[in-house]
Structure 1
Amino acid sequence: MSQGQKSSAATVLLLEADPSMRRLISLGLRHRGLEVIEANSLATISSTDLQSLDLLILDVDEGVSCDWTLLQTVQEQPELSSLPTVVLSWDPPLEEKSSSLTTIAQCVCVNKPFDARALHDGVDHLLLMRTVEKGKQLALAEAALLDAYRKDSSPSIWPVVTAAGVFLAMIGFLFQFVLTMIGLVIIVIGLLLWTIGWHSRIEAAPEIAFSVGK
């Protein structure tokens, strides 16, 4: 895959000490469309690869012996502590070992010698569970965002108060305008009456003078 091209396929980390077994398992997983990161130990895995994982396949056998502490070592890694895991082993885990070592809720044990179909069934099962879990988490996150949006956008009394203030201010300006217009009308009427009365007195003055002369 070229750099900058991101695949939507699930990424599987395969921790297998045996190179031939590691190669065989890797070819089968890649044939099923999965991205596979091969390693013989955690020390060879970069932190970037650890953050992009969807599933872990771990072989806990070292030669003819079985070392279940390898699973505990993996679980102590923060990036892998909750990662779905397929454990490969010659010996089936005892109940007490499983309860004391396995803190991963999504863990499948495949006993050797195993058929490839058993391994692939375990991988498919865990990936499906992981997809469902991610869907639930996404739904919860969307519900939380929607709830926060509803709370933030809930009706408030302040827009109503603001509108009432604007309405009262408009009424106040309109009342002042009406009073001003009434005052102007009174002034105009008073000036007209005053002018008409003044002209009437001027016109009546000659008549009075003429009648006195006779």
Structure 2
Amino acid sequence: MSQGQKTTAATVLVLEADPTMRRLISLGLRHRGLEVIEAASLATISSTDIQSLDLLILDVDDGVSCDWALLQTIQEQPELSNLPKVVLSWDPPMEGKSATLTTIEHCVCVNKPFDARALHEGVDHLLLERTIEQDAQLARAEEALLATYRKDSSPSVWPIITAAGLFLAVIGLLFQFVLVMIGLAIIVIGLLLWTIGWHSRIERTPDIAFSVSK
């Protein structure tokens, strides 16, 4: 899987009824550094193991015949249907019963008897496809997230309007304050002039009275 999603080795489920064949396949995959879960049937696989899978190796043979119903059962399970699959079968991939493989994405059929190299090439091919696809999905998700961030963080006119309103309110308050101060200054000056004039009249009154008495 991609480095952004998973740092450990890919996990492969080997679904093989024959214990000897299952063991041989698992040993080869582990030798290549892959994590392997072995199972004889779907019933023995836990939900935790299913969630950790990156690829499924499935043997559809039942003795000398092929049981393609097993592949159909797997395709009907959402948690398994999207997994890349390597199908082991005696039948060539394009014969009647195996024609269903052409409708399954990320599926490789390896005919038996097979060379281990053919199996490993199919596994490597599917895991590489899965890595590329998941990296592309991650890139698309990051691009969508960045697009949302750019949209949400784009400049808005409302902060500017709010600042302009606040500025006008401050100017209005300052203007009222200045008017109040001017009014108070006029009152103070008027009181001072009135007081000075009143004292002047008092001081002149005795002189007038004294002049009349002579």
TM over 0.5: yes
Distance apart, 1:152 and its partner CA: 2.0
Distance apart, 1:161 and its partner CA: 2.1
Contact between 1:15 and 1:58, CA under 8 Å: does it hold in 2?
Answer: yes
TM-score (normalizing by structure 2): 0.91
Contact between 1:72 and 1:101, CA under 8 Å: does it hold in 2?
Answer: no
Is 1:86–2:76 an aligned residue pair? no
Aligned to 2:185: 185
Distance apart, 1:125 and its partner CA: 0.8
Aligned to 2:108: 108
Q: For residues 101 and 92 of structure 1, what CA distance do their matches in structure 2 show?
A: 11
Distance apart, 1:213 and its partner CA: 2.0
Q: For residues 61 and 100 of structure 2, what CA distance do their matches in structure 1 show?
A: 18
Aligned to 1:207: 207
Distance 1:202 1:99, change over 3 A: farther
Is 1:17–2:13 an aligned residue pair? no
Aligned to 2:146: 146
Report sequence identity in percent. Answer: 81
Local SS of the residue matching 2:8: coil
Distance apart, 1:101 and its partner CA: 4.9
Aligned to 2:119: 119
Distance 1:14 1:189, change over 3 A: same
Q: State how many pairs are aligned.
A: 209
Q: For residues 208 and 7 of structure 1, what CA distance do their matches in structure 2 show?
A: 114
Aligned to 2:56: 56
Contact between 2:91 and 2:98, CA under 8 Å: does it hold in 1?
Answer: no
Distance 1:138 1:7, change over 3 A: closer
**Which stretches of structure 1, 4 residues or longer, exceed 3 Å deviation after superposition?**
95-103
Which amino acid in the other structure matches residue 175 of structure 1? F
Distance apart, 1:90 and its partner CA: 1.8
Distance 1:146 1:113, change over 3 A: same
* CA shift digits 1:102-133 (9 cap, x unpaired): 54210111111211111111111111110111
Distance 1:101 1:161, change over 3 A: same
Q: Highest relative contact order (Cα 8 Å, sep 6+), 1 or 2?
A: 2
Gap runs ≥5 in structure 1: 1-5
Distance apart, 1:100 and its partner CA: 3.3
Distance apart, 1:92 and its partner CA: 1.2
Q: For residues 116 and 15 of structure 2, what CA distance do their matches in structure 1 show?
A: 16
Contact between 1:75 and 1:103, CA under 8 Å: does it hold in 2?
Answer: no
Greater shift, 54-63 or 163-172, is seen at 163-172
Q: For residues 46 and 127 of structure 1, what CA distance do their matches in structure 2 show?
A: 22
Aligned to 1:170: 170
Aligned to 1:194: 194
TM-score (normalizing by structure 1): 0.91
Contact between 2:93 and 2:99, CA under 8 Å: does it hold in 1?
Answer: no
Aligned to 1:37: 37
Aligned to 1:3: none
Q: For residues 64 and 168 of structure 1, what CA distance do their matches in structure 2 show?
A: 91
Local SS of the residue matching 1:79: helix
Contact between 1:88 and 1:110, CA under 8 Å: does it hold in 2?
Answer: yes
Q: For residues 64 and 97 of structure 2, what CA distance do their matches in structure 1 show?
A: 19
Local SS of the residue matching 2:81: coil
